């Protein structure tokens, strides 16, 4: 793979310490690195041991503050290619020139948990993309859900305080299932729509590769003639959006807290590059007021059936980072990083973000020069009169650092819009200075009901169970009741189920009259592929080698990922056993196939555990004919393939989950 411009730029900063002599940071060769300098063999350590002092001081300062939200994240490099020019709508170069490949860096994250928390918790996922364009960096700092909890940025600190671990005992970690969060929800009812998304399967994605991404806010496209359109951004994963089931997600948190990053890292290493198509919903300014919601309200979607998503390009993630701290931890995203042709709207949530992101980098990355950190540098030239500050790297030459000037012929010079200078869209604004919100922001429930109406029965069941779990964890009776009463406005039946489960009184509301649905919102309607679904092939070390080889090959030819699991490590013929029953777990696979059994009691017990767990999580299970006895109890259930036939099993894996089972 050739290097793109960003990769070339990063190359200047890469250092390989292998096969080199150890030195201090001053370049002095080190003669000894195991013993500190002492006065006498058993005497005190000496102050003059500069090597010890430097090594220890650097270590003492290794940590920086974790992100206040989205602390746990994982990132990769890639490229964006445009299918069709968007010139009609925007002058942004990377959205006009289809011959251009734009380097990107994408960081996925959970929101609530600390940097070391588990990855498969119920949470929103961050989906932040930095496009290194020829006209500067453009950051699309999105989430995997298209709406947000609040409508005005001033409430963000309250939301985050409520959802983070409670301050008196710092519990629970990475979870919204506690009193302060539901107290916030019930007393800030604009959160209703987002809560429906959070309680849905979208809150527990199967993989970062199988998540949609959304810019959430309404942005503006501006073309070369200065004409603007409203735009919403979507990322659509080529593999479709898919989820875990809750019991599985909780178990994975213990079995492999790195589940999502491992999946992303391994896919890229094995060249199964994650791909996402970029879609835009475009709306003429004249149509701003044609909806029953306000287009500036970030708690609302534009249903795809009303405003179609136009697919305009594809992003491929094709390179893992070299160093997680240098790149993933130090990358600084900001909604305010825009390029000519992309502009903001008056969405009050977006407006507040425009302040917050630079501000947070100042403390997190230690000063105003974070744009000089290699991962944050644009790939186009950048010049201005900003100087000094902590950790300044650039050596700006000459006496002039002000504008206007004569001494440097008034350079660095500004550019007219025709020359590529950023020109803010000249929106006409008028009004009184008020602390309030428009009445058009006050319907909090219609789209929450729209979301509910759009779900399949199984998805609805999952949502109800998630509510019962979360509100069931709330200790305060009144908060429980308030939450139940609030969601009766979304759907009465749902609220009754929750009330019954959590010991609250049945709601008295009459429910919602909204009947509209948006089929595009259901993950049941998304593309399902066998590609990269991970199968554990259970095999006895003394089993039929040829048959195993054949099955494994056929699975791989169908696009499945295979790991051979047995009771001990080693080889079966030439095939390596990747895991033992105890080094891995059924929750870490999409399907289980028993290629050969053993008479060993322990083997049978473990094999049975794998099959049962997969069965309970609605996954495909199969067995070759000589191992079929293991499936006896479950035969006849959907997705249980006891014929040994590989194509039938692959079909069962392709269906992802078989909900219609007797569990």
Q: Which residues are catalytic?
A: 70, 143
Q: Out of 95, 210, 349, 577, which residue is the one contacting ligand HDE (CB under 6 A)?
A: 349
Q: Per CB under 6 A, which of residues 73..132 are in contact with ligand HDE?
A: 73, 107, 109, 126, 128
Tokens standing for 215? Answer: 């810019």
Q: Name the nearest CA neighbour of 312 among 94, 105, 79, 86.
A: 86
Is 649 within any annotated ligand binding site?
A: no
Residue 223 and residue 89: Cα distance in Å, rounded? Answer: 5
Q: Does 360 help bind ligand HDE (rule: CB under 6 A)?
A: yes
| Per rule CB under 6 A, count of chain residues that contact ligand HDE | 24
Q: Out of 353, 462, 619, 657, which residue is the one contacting ligand HDE (CB under 6 A)?
A: 353
Q: Which helix (H) or strand (E) holds 312?
A: strand 310-320
Q: Out of 78, 103, 136, 142, which residue is the one contacting ligand HDE (CB under 6 A)?
A: 142
Residue 577 and residue 563: Cα distance in Å, rounded? Answer: 7
Smaller CB distance to ligand HDE: residue 216 or 551? 216
DSSP string, 394-409: ----SS--SSS-STTT
Binding string, residues 38-77; x marks residues near ligand HDE by CB under 6 A? -----------------------------xxxx--x----
Q: Does 336 help bind ligand HDE (rule: CB under 6 A)?
A: no
User: 3-state DSSP call for residue 305?
Assistant: coil
Is 357 within any annotated ligand binding site?
A: yes
Smaller CB distance to ligand HDE: residue 67 or 496? 67
Residue 407 and residue 656: Cα distance in Å, rounded? Answer: 68
Smallest gap from Cβ 98 to ligand HDE, in A, equals 27
Peptide bond into 64 cis (omega under 30): no
What CA–CA distances, in Å, run from 398 to 407, 409, 438? 10, 13, 52
Q: Out of 94, 131, 138, 148, which residue is the one contacting ligand HDE (CB under 6 A)?
A: 148
Q: Which helix (H) or strand (E) holds 163?
A: helix 156-163
Binding string, residues 276-305; x marks residues near ligand HDE by CB under 6 A? ------------------------------
Smaller CB distance to ligand HDE: residue 340 or 348? 348
Q: Out of 52, 265, 293, 357, which residue is the one contacting ligand HDE (CB under 6 A)?
A: 357
How many other β-carbons are positioned within 10 Å of the β-carbon of residue 534? 16
Residue with tokens 């500069």: 50
Residue with tokens 């051979």: 564
Smallest gap from Cβ 160 to ligand HDE, in A, equals 8
Q: What angle do CA 627, 629, 634 make, to 5 degrees?
A: 120
Q: Does 356 help bind ligand HDE (rule: CB under 6 A)?
A: yes
Helix/strand/coil (H, E, C) string of 167-180? CCCCECCCCCCCHH
Smaller CB distance to ligand HDE: residue 360 or 386? 360
Residue 190 and residue 229: Cα distance in Å, rounded? Answer: 26
Q: Does 617 help bind ligand HDE (rule: CB under 6 A)?
A: no
Is 555 within any annotated ligand binding site?
A: no
Helix axes 192-199, 477-488, angle to 10 degrees: 100
Give the range of 4-12, 135-143, 219-227, 250-258 binding ligand HDE by CB under 6 A.
135-143
Smaller CB distance to ligand HDE: residue 70 or 533? 70
User: 3-state DSSP call for residue 346?
Assistant: coil
Tokens standing for 370? Answer: 């974070």
Q: Per CB under 6 A, which of residues 431..490 are in contact with ligand HDE?
A: none
Smaller CB distance to ligand HDE: residue 189 or 643? 189
Smaller CB distance to ligand HDE: residue 167 or 636? 167
CB neighbour class for 333 (10 Å; exposed up to 12, middle 13-18, buried from 19): buried
Smallest gap from Cβ 588 to ligand HDE, in A, equals 25
Nearest-CB residue for ligand HDE: 126
Residue 41 and residue 36: Cα distance in Å, rounded? Answer: 10
Give the range of 180-188, 267-275, 346-354, 528-536 binding ligand HDE by CB under 6 A.
346-354
Residue 79 and residue 105: Cα distance in Å, rounded? Answer: 8
DSSP string, 277-294: EEEEEEEEGGGTTSSSS-
Smallest gap from Cβ 51 to ligand HDE, in A, equals 35
Q: Does 191 help bind ligand HDE (rule: CB under 6 A)?
A: no
Give the range of 141-149, 256-264, 491-499, 588-596 binding ligand HDE by CB under 6 A.
141-149
Q: Are 630 and 607 in contact (CB under 8 A)?
A: yes
Smallest gap from Cβ 161 to ligand HDE, in A, equals 13
Q: Per CB under 6 A, which of residues 215..234 are in contact with ligand HDE?
A: 216
Smaller CB distance to ligand HDE: residue 250 or 320? 320
Is 67 within any annotated ligand binding site?
A: yes
Q: Name the nearest CA neighbour of 87 among 286, 278, 341.
A: 341
Smaller CB distance to ligand HDE: residue 66 or 322? 66
Burial per residue of 223-258, b for 16 or more beta-carbon CB atoms within 10 angstroms, e otherwise: beeeebbbbbbbbbbbbbbbbbbbebbbbbbebbbe
Binding site listing: 67, 107, 156, 353, 357, 364
What is the binding site for ligand HDE (CB under 6 A)? Answer: 67-70, 73, 107, 109, 126, 128, 141-143, 148, 153, 156, 216, 331, 333, 349, 352-353, 356-357, 360
Binding site listing for heme: 67, 107, 156, 353, 357, 364
């Amino acid at each position: 793979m050739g290097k793109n411009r960003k990769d070339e730029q990063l190359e200047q900063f890469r250092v390989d310490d292998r096969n080199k002599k150890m030195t201090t940071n001053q370049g002095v060769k080190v003669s000894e690195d195991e013993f500190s300098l002492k006065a006498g063999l058993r005497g005190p350590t000496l102050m003059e041991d500069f090597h010890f002092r430097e090594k220890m001081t650097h270590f003492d300062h290794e940590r920086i503050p974790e992100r206040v939200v989205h602390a746990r994240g994982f990132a990769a490099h890639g490229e964006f290619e445009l299918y069709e020019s968007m010139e009609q709508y925007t002058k942004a170069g990377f959205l006009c020139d289809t011959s251009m490949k734009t380097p990107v860096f994408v960081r996925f994250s959970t929101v609530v948990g600390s940097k070391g928390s588990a990855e498969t918790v119920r949470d929103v996922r961050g989906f932040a993309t930095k496009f290194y364009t020829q006209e500067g960096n453009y950051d699309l700092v999105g989430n995997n859900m298209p709406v947000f909890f609040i409508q005005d940025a001033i409430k963000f600190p309250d939301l985050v305080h409520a959802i983070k671990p409670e301050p008196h005992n710092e519990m629970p970690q990475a979870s919204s299932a506690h009193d302060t969060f539901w107290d916030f929800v019930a007393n800030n009812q604009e959160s209703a729509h987002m809560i429906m998304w959070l309680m849905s399967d979208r809150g527990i994605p199967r993989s970062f590769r199988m998540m949609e991404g959304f810019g959430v806010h309404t942005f503006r496209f501006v073309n070369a003639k200065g004409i603007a359109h409203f735009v919403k951004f979507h990322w659509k994963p080529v593999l479709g959006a898919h989820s875990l089931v809750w019991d599985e997600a909780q178990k994975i948190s213990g079995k492999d807290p790195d589940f999502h990053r491992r999946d992303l890292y391994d896919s890229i290493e094995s060249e199964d590059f994650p791909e996402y198509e970029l879609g835009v919903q475009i709306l003429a300014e004249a149509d701003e007021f044609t909806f029953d919601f306000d287009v500036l309200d970030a708690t609302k979607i534009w249903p795809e059936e009303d405003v179609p998503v136009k697919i305009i390009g594809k992003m491929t993630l094709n390179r893992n980072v070299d160093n997680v701290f240098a790149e993933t931890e130090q990358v600084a995203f900001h909604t305010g990083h825009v390029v000519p042709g992309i502009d903001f709207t008056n969405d009050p949530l977006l407006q507040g973000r425009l302040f917050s992101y630079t501000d947070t980098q100042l403390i997190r990355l230690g000063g105003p020069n974070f744009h000089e950190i290699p991962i944050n540098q644009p790939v186009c030239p950048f010049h201005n009169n900003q100087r000094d500050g902590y950790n300044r790297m650039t050596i700006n030459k000459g006496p002039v650092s002000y504008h206007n000037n004569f001494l440097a012929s008034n350079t660095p010079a500004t550019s007219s819009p025709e020359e590529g200078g950023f020109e803010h869209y000249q929106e006409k604004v008028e009004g009184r200075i008020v602390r309030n919100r428009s009445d058009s922001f006050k319907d909090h429930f219609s789209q929450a009901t729209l979301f509910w109406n759009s779900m399949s029965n199984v998805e609805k069941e999952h949502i109800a169970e998630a509510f019962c779990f979360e509100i069931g964890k709330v200790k305060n009776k009144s908060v429980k009741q308030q939450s139940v009463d609030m969601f009766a406005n979304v759907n009465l039946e749902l609220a009754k189920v929750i009330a019954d489960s959590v010991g609250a009184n049945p709601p008295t509301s009459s429910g919602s009259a909204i009947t509209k649905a948006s089929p595009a919102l259901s993950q049941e309607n998304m593309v399902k592929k066998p590609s990269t679904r991970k199968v554990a092939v259970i095999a006895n070390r003394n089993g039929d080698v040829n048959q195993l080889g054949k099955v494994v090959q056929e699975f791989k030819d169908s696009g499945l990922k295979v790991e051979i699991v047995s009771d001990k490590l080693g080889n079966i013929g030439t095939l390596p056993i990747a895991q033992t029953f105890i080094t891995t777990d059924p929750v870490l696979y999409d399907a289980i196939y028993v290629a050969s059994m053993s008479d060993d009691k322990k083997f049978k017990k473990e094999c049975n555990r794998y099959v049962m767990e997969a069965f309970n999580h609605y996954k495909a299970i199969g067995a070759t004919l000589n191992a079929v006895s293991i499936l006896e109890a479950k035969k006849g259930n959907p997705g249980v393939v006891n014929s040994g036939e590989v194509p039938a099993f692959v079909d069962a894996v392709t269906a992802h989950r078989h909900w219609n089972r007797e569990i």
